[in-house]
């Protein structure tokens, strides 16, 4: 998935990499930038499966960044980006919004637009604000459009235990229980100073791995958050029903090989003993407070 942080500054109304908006007179030429980007990447053997028109379009305070309101994105997708892809024969998915769960009305505005809707594959969300149930809000109105969870970072100011339980509960389990096709964490790797990052970018965001100057590798909490799913839930798996009881948040899948995978997070303050029932069989297990486990059978 490709996602820009800013158009070239000469296309923007403030002439800066930070903030500002894309000038309508450049909508078409910017759409052609997307076409050329996808074609160029393909020439290097890199297939871009999907793009979002703008990363965090309601966060113009980062450097780089762009303010792109829902009505502007609908106009750009419906009148420029979508038709440009169609003309060039590009099958790359267009996924709108790519920002926090507190504004489900943003993707809904675009999906309700009759010109934009046919070109939109789905909507993408982050969870720095709002509730993960926002994905279901969008799904309920447009069940034929996909949903994606595309970013959540873990930072230097929190601890492993807090980040593990919160992110597994919300990003992995929460997104899957609210129709998301994926769960994506921030960043693969950084050094011990959280670099590289842009001037004005995030200087506290952890990657899944920390690689220091001596090439020592430390697995950060993001490695384990994603690992609880990615090691056991391969592409092509389908979510199946499982019920949440008390503090035991969970999600279950059937893999292409027919295995059942159950991810459980104990969100309570004490150990919980519980049964896992499947068809006519069951087993009993215990999970400590704040712990996460993945069960496979």
Query: So which residues are the catalytic ones?
Result: 56, 151
For residues 153 and 15, give the distance between their C-alpha atoms in angstroms, rounded to a whole number.
29
Torsion angle in degrees (nearest 10) through CA of 25, 94, 151, 235: -160
3-state secondary structure of 133: coil
162 CB-near residues (< 8 Å, 6+ apart): none
Give the residue among 219, 217, 210, 261 at the shortest CA–CA distance from 238. 261
Q: In the structure encoding, which two tokens stand for residue 120, read together?
A: 């939109």
CA distance from start to end of the chain? 32
HSE, side-chain direction, 13 A CA sphere, residue 4: 19
For residues 57 and 99, give the distance between their C-alpha atoms in angstroms, rounded to a whole number.
7
CA distances from 3 to 10, 48, 90 (A): 19, 10, 16
For residues 287 and 53, give the distance between their C-alpha atoms in angstroms, rounded to a whole number.
42
3-state secondary structure of 149: strand
Q: Which residue has the tokens 């965001």?
A: 205
Q: In the structure encoding, which two tokens stand for residue 151, read together?
A: 């970013």
**Strand bridging mode 50-51 / 93-101:** parallel
For residues 207 and 263, give the distance between their C-alpha atoms in angstroms, rounded to a whole number.
22
For residues 19 and 12, give the distance between their C-alpha atoms in angstroms, rounded to a whole number.
9
């Amino acid at each position: 998935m490709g996602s820009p942080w800013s158009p070239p500054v000469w296309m923007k109304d403030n002439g800066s990499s930070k903030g500002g908006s894309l000038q309508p007179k450049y909508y078409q030429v910017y759409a052609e930038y997307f076409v050329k980007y996808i074609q160029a990447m393909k020439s290097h053997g890199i297939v871009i499966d999907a793009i979002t028109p703008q990363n965090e379009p309601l966060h113009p305070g980062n450097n780089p960044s762009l303010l792109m309101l829902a009505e502007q994105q609908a106009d750009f997708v419906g009148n420029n980006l979508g038709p440009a892809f169609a003309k060039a024969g590009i099958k790359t998915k267009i996924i709108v919004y790519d920002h926090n769960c507190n504004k489900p009305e943003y993707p809904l505005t675009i999906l309700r637009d009759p010109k934009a809707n046919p070109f939109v594959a789905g909507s993408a969300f982050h969870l720095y604000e709002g509730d993960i149930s926002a994905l279901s809000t969008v799904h309920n109105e447009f069940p034929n459009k996909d949903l994606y969870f595309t970013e959540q970072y873990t930072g230097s100011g929190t601890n492993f235990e807090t980040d593990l339980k919160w992110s597994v509960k919300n990003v992995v389990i929460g997104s899957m229980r609210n129709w998301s096709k994926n769960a994506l964490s921030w960043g693969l790797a950084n050094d011990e100073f959280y670099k590289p990052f842009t001037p004005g970018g995030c200087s506290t965001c952890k990657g899944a791995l920390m690689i220091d100057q001596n090439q020592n590798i430390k697995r950060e909490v993001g490695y384990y958050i994603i690992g609880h799913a990615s090691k056991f839930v391969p592409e092509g798996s389908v979510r199946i029903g499982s019920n949440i009881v008390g503090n035991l948040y969970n999600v279950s899948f059937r893999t292409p090989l027919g295995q059942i995978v159950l991810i459980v997070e104990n969100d309570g303050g004490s150990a919980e003993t519980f049964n896992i029932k499947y068809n006519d069989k069951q087993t009993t297990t215990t999970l400590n407070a704040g712990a996460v486990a993945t069960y496979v059978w």
